[in-house]
């Protein structure tokens, strides 16, 4: 067995691991804006300023399957979902960490808008 | 690893046994509650069988084990919609491990396992991008890679421990 090649592979894998760890940490720590997007089937359905939005519920339908998104006290979460896994409900409230709420079966994503965070940086500067 | 000459029936039995083992491991893992509520983050214990198969059987045979396991597993879990993610991830993982097998020997099988797990995550993400029609989900990749790296190390070390024991057992009698 070629030892040099083995080492190279290990180094590459380690590099990928640590880079993604760094990127994850960066995403977790970076402050997003207040703009939340609700994307269904690749299209942005709603753009919401979460800091100003009153409490309400939004129903999004995909191929006859419903998702109920709730906004409460300026936080957004998936309240009900007609899908097999309910991962999106277990994700809980959308955190500022950059981890979006995703419902894969119903192709629904709730996330902080990328533009929002850029705008925020500008405002801070 | 070139094995002793086996009859087709013996080979079939071994492959079937491995597939059954992978499925049992999968079903047991289903009972473990999700630690992190991110789709795609899991231990992937059935990967132990896949790495083992890659190192002990032909690529085509390992592929058959993987395919049957994924299809039946999605039936058992009742989550057919996850099938496309497991398939794309599993196939990429297997291809990667078959290539890496040429470089990494069996004593460092956990390295292949880590690479395989990460490739699995990459395959999943691309499937998700295709299904969701947006690159947004790509932001998940770093999280998945970290979890995949940890899970892959774990399953890889498990595979290594299993192989060590099997080699020990097979040596003196050499009957099976």
Nearest-by-CA chain B residue for A91: B37
For residue A78, list chain B residues with Cβ-Cβ distance below 8 A.
none
CA B127/CA A31 separation, integer angstroms: 28
Please compute the mean of the pLDDT values over residues B156-168 and round it to a whole number: 90
Of A76, A32, A74, A78, the closest CA to residue A53 belongs to A74
Architecture of domain A33-124: Sandwich (2.60)
Its ipTM equals: 0.77
Please report, for chain B, the start and end positions of each structural domain, with discontinuous segments joined by +.
Answer: 8-168
% chain B with pLDDT above 90? 56
Residues in chain B, total: 176
Question: Measured between CB atoms, which of A6, A19, A98 is closest to B104?
Answer: A6
Helix axes B8-30, B47-56, angle to 10 degrees: 160
Q: For A9, which of B103, B141, B143 is closest by C-beta distance?
A: B103
- Show residues of chain B in contact with A85, CB under 8 Å: 39, 79, 81-82
State what percent of residues in chain A have pLDDT above 90.
Answer: 10
* The two three-digit tokens of residue A93, written as one number: 């409230």
Give the mean pLDDT of chain B.
87
Looking at CA atoms only, how far is residue B172 from chain A in angstroms? 26
- Mean pLDDT score of chain A: 80
Query: Is residue A124 over pLDDT 50?
Result: no
pLDDT digits over B75-86, tens only? 888 777 788 889
Kind of pairing, strands A35-40 and A108-112?
antiparallel
The reported pLDDT for the residue numbered B169 is 74
Give the number of A-B residue pairs with CB atoms closer than 8 Å.
Answer: 104
Q: What is the pLDDT of residue A116?
A: 44
CATH 1.10.1760 fits B8-168, yes or no: yes
Per-residue pLDDT band at B4 (split at 50, 70, 90): low
The 10s digit of each residue's pLDDT in A6-58 is: 888 889 999 999 999 998 888 777 777 788 888 887 788 888 888 888 888 88
Per-domain residue ranges for chain A? 1-30, 33-124
Contact B128 A5 (CB under 8 A): no
Tell me if B142 and A42 make a contact (CB, 8 A cut-off): no
Instruction: Kindly indicate the confidence band of residue A115, based on its pLDDT and cuts at 50, 70 and 90.
Output: low
Chain A residues touching B133 at Cβ < 8 A: 41-42, 107
pLDDT band at A98 (very low <50, low <70, confident <90, very high): low
B84-97 tens-digit pLDDT = 889 999 999 999 99
Residues of chain B neighbouring A100 (CB-CB closer than 8 A): 136-137, 139-140
Q: Which helix (H) or strand (E) holds B9?
A: helix B8-30
Whether A88 has a pLDDT exceeding 70, the answer reads yes
> Residue B48: what pLDDT?
93
Q: Which residues contact A55 (CB under 8 A, 6 or more apart)?
A: A70, A71, A72, A73
**Does residue B20 have a pLDDT over 90?**
yes
A85 contacts B82? CB cut-off 8 A:
yes
């Amino acid at each position: 067995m070629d030892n040099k090649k083995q080492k190279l592979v290990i180094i590459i894998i380690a590099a990928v691991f640590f880079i993604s760890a760094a990127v994850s940490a960066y995403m977790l720590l970076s402050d997003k804006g207040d703009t939340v997007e609700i994307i269904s089937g690749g299209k942005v359905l709603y753009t919401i300023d979460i800091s100003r939005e009153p409490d309400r519920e939004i129903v999004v339908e995909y191929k006859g399957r419903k998702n109920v998104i709730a906004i409460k006290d300026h936080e957004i979460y998936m309240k009900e979902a007609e899908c097999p896994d309910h991962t999106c409900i277990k994700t809980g409230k959308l955190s500022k960490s950059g981890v979006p709420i995703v419902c894969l079966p119903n192709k629904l994503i709730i996330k902080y808008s990328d533009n929002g965070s850029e705008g925020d940086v500008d405002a801070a500067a | 690893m070139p094995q002793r000459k086996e009859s087709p029936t013996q080979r079939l039995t071994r492959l079937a046994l491995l597939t059954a083992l992978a499925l049992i491991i999968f079903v047991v893992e289903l009972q473990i509650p999700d630690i992190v509520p991110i789709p795609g983050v899991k231990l992937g214990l059935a990967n132990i069988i896949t790495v083992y198969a890659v190192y002990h059987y032909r690529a085509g045979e390992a592929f058959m084990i993987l395919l049957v396991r994924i299809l039946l597993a999605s039936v058992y879990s009742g989550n057919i919609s996850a099938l496309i993610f497991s398939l794309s991830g599993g196939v990429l993982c297997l291809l990667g491990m078959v290539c890496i097998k040429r470089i990494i020997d069996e004593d460092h099988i956990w390295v292949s396992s880590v690479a395989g797990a990460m490739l699995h995550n990459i395959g999943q993400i691309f499937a998700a991008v295709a299904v969701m029609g947006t690159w947004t989900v790509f932001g998940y990749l770093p999280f998945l890679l970290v979890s995949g790296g940890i899970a892959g190390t774990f399953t890889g070390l498990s595979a290594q421990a299993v192989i060590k024991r099997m080699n020990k057992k097979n040596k003196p009698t050499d009957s099976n």
